[in-house]
Structure 1
Amino acid sequence: MPQPVSDSHALYEVLFVCTGNICRSAYAEIVAQAAGLSCVRFASAGVYAVTGAGLCPQMAVFVDGRGDPTTHHARQLTRAMMEQADLVIAMGTDHRRFILDEWPTLARKTFLIGQVARQLADLPPA
């Protein structure tokens, strides 16, 4: 997994990816952004997004005060987004497979959300 940035003023960019960027990846971006980590920038995109679509109402309920679900607008995943990100978190195996098929050279920074969760669970408490 990519190493965190050592310069506390530098931005570490995390990109969440799902299918339409209106449920899972959008939710992850909104809630992660609300955590207030000043050295991390969170973004999201979809492999088959309808650009500009809002967060689905069913998912907006789960945001529950941890961010503003009305500000989200779906984005289509692009190579530029992939290259800019330090860490890409795919919500499912099909999303990761899409990324690896399209941009195999960017595989080193692309992980499934479960892989990231296991790595984070192994960290000592802060």
Structure 2
Amino acid sequence: MNIYLICTGNTCRSPMAEAILRSKNISGISVRSAGLHAADGFPISIHSETLIQEMDMPYTAESRVISREDVEWADLILTMTEGHKQAVLHRFPVAVGKLFTLKEYTKPDGDLDVQDPFGGNLLVYRETFEELTVYMDLLEKKLTEE
């Protein structure tokens, strides 16, 4: 299964989510991340990188912009917010049926958006990292039970 994780700039949430999911080494799962308003090749946030390195997780150090090729590659596209989901659907109608917010797909109750740490200090990033860890654990459970 190919999983594509989407946020705004691919420097904070989606790279952290990608690293967390990749570190689980789930058999048969490939993961990529990108941003709706990203540019290829920019470094991820220093705070994101710090937290990922603290956990010794494999990660992608540079941002990527969402692409049609990757949308078509993906079996499952998970966005960090409802707004991201709607933007992906608007730009890539082919994503319908395999596009969800991360929270909607794993535990569809309450707020469906993952906190955006952009511009925050390390503590704010750590809170988002911990939130993403919870939902990546739920995703792992869902994927391995199917």
Would you say the 8 A contact 1:15–1:43 is kept in 2? yes
Partner of 1:72: 61
Distance 1:56 1:106 in 2: 28
Q: Provide, for residues 48-100 of structure 1, a one-character-per-residue CA deviation record: whole Å limited to 9, x for no partner.
A: 1121112201222332324145x421111011110100000011112111111
CA RMSD of aligned residues (A): 2.2
Distance 2:102 2:30 in 1: 17
Structure 2: state its 5+ residue gaps. Answer: 109-137
Q: How many residues align?
A: 113
Would you say the 8 A contact 1:30–1:66 is kept in 2? no
Structure 1: state its 5+ residue gaps. Answer: 1-11
Normalized against structure 1, the TM-score is what? 0.79
Find 1:61's aligned residue among 44, 47, 50: 50
Partner of 1:100: 89
Partner of 1:39: 28
One-letter identity of the residue aligned with 1:13 = N
Distance 1:72 1:60 in 2: 7
Normalized against structure 2, the TM-score is what? 0.69
Change (3 A) 1:55 1:102: same
Would you say the 8 A contact 1:13–1:42 is kept in 2? yes
Would you say the 8 A contact 1:18–1:91 is kept in 2? yes
Residue 20 of structure 1 and its aligned partner are, at CA, apart by 0.6
Moved more, 81-90 or 111-120: 111-120
**Bigger share in helix:** 2
Give SS of 1:108's match: coil
Give SS of 1:54's match: coil
Q: Provide, for residues 92-126 of structure 1, a one-character-per-residue CA deviation record: whole Å limited to 9, x for no partner.
A: 11211111111123211000011122174895x97
Moved more, 113-122 or 94-103: 113-122
User: Within the alignment, does 1:118 sit opposite 2:107 as a pair?
Assistant: yes
